[in-house]
Amino acid sequence: MLDWEKIFATRSVRMRASEIRELLKLLDRHDIISFAGGIPDPALFPNEEFQSVYSEIFSGPTVSAALQYSVSEGYLPLRRWLSDEMAKIGITAGPENIFITSGSQQGLDYIGKLFLSPNDTALVTWPTYLGALQAFNAYEPKYDQLTLNGNRTPDSYRAAASDAGGSVKFAYLSADFSNPTGETVDREGRERLLDLAAELDIAIIEDAAYQSLRYDGEAIPPILAIELARNGGDIEKTRTIYSGSFSKTLAPGLRVGFTVANSQVIRKLVLMKQAADLHSSTINQMAISLVAERGFDKQVEKIKAVYSHRRDCMLAALEKYMPEGVHWTKPEGGMFIWLTLPKGMDGAELLAKSLETAKVAFVPGKAFFADGSGANTLRMSFSCANDQMIEDGISRLGTLIRGETAA
């Protein structure tokens, strides 16, 4: 019998199940109030709009094209619509600068594949999006902590990367209402990041998965828009690669995301996709394109109204029920609030107890740290919880934590 471990590639040894996704599988219990999942509320999907466009596609002249092979770069009308959308947020990008992926996760995977040789360094925030770490891990990088407070010099990054056996290739971050913290990088931080990237001569990967979901405060231009403003609007001179998603606004089940960048990078990504899965689902790209053209803004407004209310509820409940020594972020958008427990308290241990007694689920924060720190943090999602669930859940969790701090 074949000893598979013997013939797997070195890189495949590093794959392991995400603790979070394993956790979520355990949470399908009706007696648990879950703030763990980071998924959109299915009650907000534009079902009728999708129903109508799929029906239209099948009744129209494009049905054969919808079911046939198509081009690796993505459905042109969708790339054109995105080009117009990008212009509205200060990003001048033609269809040739836009690449459709099977979810923005695929864009992150391809970016890892495009840039990372083993032992190269990726700069990520502590904490960062776990899915990005998982995507990049396949290419065997090292991670160094991206900080924008001036604590690290470009030389210190260069030296650390060289010690690790490679060089710094990119800085990855979610600048708006990030998963997991819900925090936003301010304009000044974005400018500093652009300066740092220029000094290191590396790419910036801007994960904009939650960018459309701002509930209050003033919108900060995307990093790519700021870079474009600096260089006179020529995307061919930019180093920022913008990763976008329809999963939080329209629906994740169609697997349609996109990447916006200078055409040199886009051409490489297209070749990569051609070799890796040919193209994203033709019919789904058409459906997303039609639904987006006809009512993207309206759909986003609908979602924002619901999620901002849930965020408000959760923030109010945290204020009401959490004991002293617990701190949390106050996100201006997105789906997540990030809690910091008193030092020495462990999020994973708390979860184990919480599932038994408080019957509340959340995600221990440690998984989001590339260096394994962050034991006393946790991620709470409000996207799928109603008022009562939030009130009850946070109240019960507050009682549990209070007991723990007293102990």
Q: Which of residues 170-209 bind its own copies (CB under 8 A)?
A: 170, 201-203
DSSP for residue 20: H
Q: Which is nearer to its own copies, 58 or 153 (CB)?
A: 58
Q: Which is nearer to its own copies, 44 or 350 (CB)?
A: 44
Residue 36: which H helix or E strand, with range? Answer: none
Which residues are 340's β-sheet partners? 327, 377
Q: Which is nearer to its own copies, 214 or 279 (CB)?
A: 279
Return the SS3 of 52: helix
Task: Please name the amino acid found at residue 336.
Answer: F
**Residue 388 near its own copies by CB under 8 A:** no
Q: How many residues make contact with its own copies (CB under 8 A)?
A: 84
**Residue 27 near its own copies by CB under 8 A:** no
DSSP 330-372: --SBSSEEEEEPPTT--HHHHHHHHHHTT-EE-EEGGGG-TTS
For the chain, what is the radius of gyration of the CA atoms?
Answer: 22
Q: Phi/psi of residue 268, each to 5°? A: -65, -45
Number of alpha carbons in the 13 Å side-chain half-sphere of residue 6: 3
> Which pair of structure tokens corresponds to residue 110?
């391809």
Residue 170 to residue 231: CA distance in whole angstroms: 20
β strands within 102-246, DSSP E: 121-124, 142-145, 168-173, 203-207, 240-245
Candidate segments 89-97, 216-224, 277-285, 387-395, binder of its own copies by CB under 8 A:
277-285
In terms of phi and psi (left: phi > 0; alpha: psi -120 to 50; beta: otherwise), the region of 182 is: left
Candidate segments 45-53, 148-156, 331-339, 391-399, binder of its own copies by CB under 8 A:
45-53
Tell me which residues in 111-150 interact with its own copies (CB under 8 A). Answer: 113-117, 120, 131, 134-135, 137-139
Candidate segments 36-44, 306-314, 335-343, 398-406, binder of its own copies by CB under 8 A:
36-44
**Residue 232 near its own copies by CB under 8 A:** no
- Contact criterion met (CB below 8 Å) for 95 and 83: yes
**Residue 169 near its own copies by CB under 8 A:** yes
Counting runs of H as helices and runs of E as strands, what totals does the chain give? 14, 13
Q: Which of 32, 16, 30 is nearest to 351 (CA)?
A: 32
Q: Shortest gap between Cβ of 333 and its own copies (angstroms)?
A: 20
**Residue 109 near its own copies by CB under 8 A:** yes
DSSP for residue 214: B
Q: Which is nearer to its own copies, 127 or 257 (CB)?
A: 257
Q: Shortest gap between Cβ of 398 and its own copies (angstroms)?
A: 29
Indicate which single residue of 26, 27, 29, 42 sits in contact with its own copies (rule: CB under 8 A). Answer: 42
Q: Shortest gap between Cβ of 355 and its own copies (angstroms)?
A: 21
Tell me which residues in 292-321 interact with its own copies (CB under 8 A). Answer: none
Q: Which is nearer to its own copies, 130 or 375 (CB)?
A: 130
Q: Which of 363, 289, 335 is nearest to 84 (CA)?
A: 289
Which residues are 144's β-sheet partners? 123
Tell me which residues in 51-90 interact with its own copies (CB under 8 A). Answer: 51, 54-55, 58-59, 63-70
Residue 120 to residue 142: CA distance in whole angstroms: 6
Candidate segments 279-287, 293-301, 311-319, 348-356, binder of its own copies by CB under 8 A:
279-287
Q: Any idea how long the chain is?
A: 407
Tell me which residues in 359-378 interact with its own copies (CB under 8 A). Answer: none
**Residue 18 near its own copies by CB under 8 A:** yes
Candidate segments 47-55, 143-151, 155-163, 301-309, binder of its own copies by CB under 8 A:
47-55
Q: Which is nearer to its own copies, 132 or 400 (CB)?
A: 132
Indicate which single residue of 243, 282, 329, 383 sits in contact with its own copies (rule: CB under 8 A). Answer: 282
Q: Which is nearer to its own copies, 6 or 343 (CB)?
A: 6
Q: Which is nearer to its own copies, 370 or 397 (CB)?
A: 370
Q: Shortest gap between Cβ of 233 and its own copies (angstroms)?
A: 14
Indicate which single residue of 165, 253, 325, 403 sits in contact with its own copies (rule: CB under 8 A). Answer: 253
**Residue 228 near its own copies by CB under 8 A:** no
Q: Which of 289, 257, 249 is nearest to 66 (CA)?
A: 289
Q: Shortest gap between Cβ of 19 and its own copies (angstroms)?
A: 12
Q: Which is nearer to its own copies, 206 or 332 (CB)?
A: 206
